[in-house]
């Protein structure tokens, strides 16, 4: 298997004012590698200054997952809480670039949107999904790490604090029906209809006033991000814990983690 295949890729295509971004690593449910995050950064920087683009869609390849988080095997090289602080800063910067795109953005979700994948979808303005899709951050069961306060704020803004507590503290994965009911999803569709519904949504967004759309989404972004409290101490505590290293080791060894609370 080639290095490009194992590391995955992120593709950009622009046609008729619509940019389509595809996370392409279907053999790993499109779990993000460092190379994929870097490519996403580059794409967002390119789109930010392309006035011809009226709408951007984000989608996972393969039809089974949007993005199933960050590739956990990459965490085997972490040795201290400082590695976690650097990682969360890197992810925050990437998500912030996507969130700050001036044009409307749509996440197209087929299957799993987990962890970092849920953060990417949440940073988009609108989300449509197949009825069988699932949403969560089950790190209390799998890895023993944490989210940045910025990503927590984004999740709370769309799901509400009680649901976010269920996702983070109970490791619950929410159904598409619940995500639709709370407003996280704009609509759910059958798999065969998702391309048609995406096209209709992009046409609708493209026909509206772009300056109004841009300043409205930026104003809403500022409301969510205003006065975010510091979080490095929390991130350092979590990524520096014995439980985090146990979670990573358990994942690599394909066994259940044994939590110690240290």
Average pLDDT for the chain: 96
**Strands (E) located in 102-170:** 105-109, 112-114, 126-130, 134-136
Contact 75, 248 (CB under 8 A): yes
What pLDDT score does 79 carry?
94
Give pLDDT, residue 11. Answer: 98
Cβ neighbors of 116 (< 8 A, separation 6 or more) are 32, 67, 69, 70, 91
Residue 254 neighbours by CB distance under 10 Å: 6
pLDDT of residue 7: 82
The whole-number pLDDT of residue 4 equals 44
Residue 153, CA atoms < 13 Å, CB-side half-sphere: 19
Domains defined along the chain, listed by start: 3-191 (3.90.226.10)
Q: Residue 47: CB partners within 8 Å, gap ≥ 6? A: 12, 19, 53, 56, 101, 103
In this predicted structure, what is the pLDDT of residue 107?
98
Q: What is the pLDDT of residues 124-158, one digit of tens each?
A: 999 999 999 999 999 999 999 999 999 999 999 99
Residues of the chain with pLDDT under 70: 1-5
User: What is the per-residue pLDDT for 1?
Assistant: 37
Q: What is the pLDDT of residues 17-28, one digit of tens each?
A: 999 999 999 999
Name the region of 82 (left: φ>0; alpha: ψ -120 to 50; beta: rest): alpha
């Amino acid at each position: 298997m080639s290095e490009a295949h194992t590391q995955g890729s992120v593709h950009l295509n622009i046609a008729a004012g619509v940019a389509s971004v595809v996370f392409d690593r279907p053999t790993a449910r499109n779990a993000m590698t460092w190379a994929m995050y870097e490519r996403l950064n580059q794409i967002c920087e390119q789109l930010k200054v392309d006035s011809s683009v009226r709408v951007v869609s984000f989608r996972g390849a393969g039809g089974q997952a949007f993005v199933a988080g960050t590739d956990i095997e990459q965490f085997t090289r972490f040795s201290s809480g400082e590695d976690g602080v650097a990682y969360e800063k890197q992810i925050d910067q990437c998500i912030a670039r996507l969130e700050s795109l001036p044009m409307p953005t749509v996440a197209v979700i087929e299957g799993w949107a987990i962890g970092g994948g849920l953060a990417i979808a949440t940073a988009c303005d609108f989300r449509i999904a197949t009825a069988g899709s699932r949403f969560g951050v089950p790190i209390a069961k799998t890895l023993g790490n944490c989210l940045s306060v910025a990503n927590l704020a984004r999740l709370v803004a769309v799901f509400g604090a009680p649901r976010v507590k269920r996702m983070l503290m109970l490791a619950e994965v929410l159904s598409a029906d619940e995500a639709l009911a709370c407003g996280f999803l704009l609509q759910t569709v059958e798999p065969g209809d998702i391309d048609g519904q995406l096209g209709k949504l992009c046409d609708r967004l493209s026909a509206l006033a772009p300056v109004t759309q841009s300043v409205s989404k930026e104003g809403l972004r500022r409301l969510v991000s205003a006065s975010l409290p510091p979080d490095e101490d929390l991130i350092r505590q979590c990524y520096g814990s014995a439980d985090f290293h146990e979670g990573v080791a358990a994942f690599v060894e394909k066994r259940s983690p044994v939590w110690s609370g240290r």
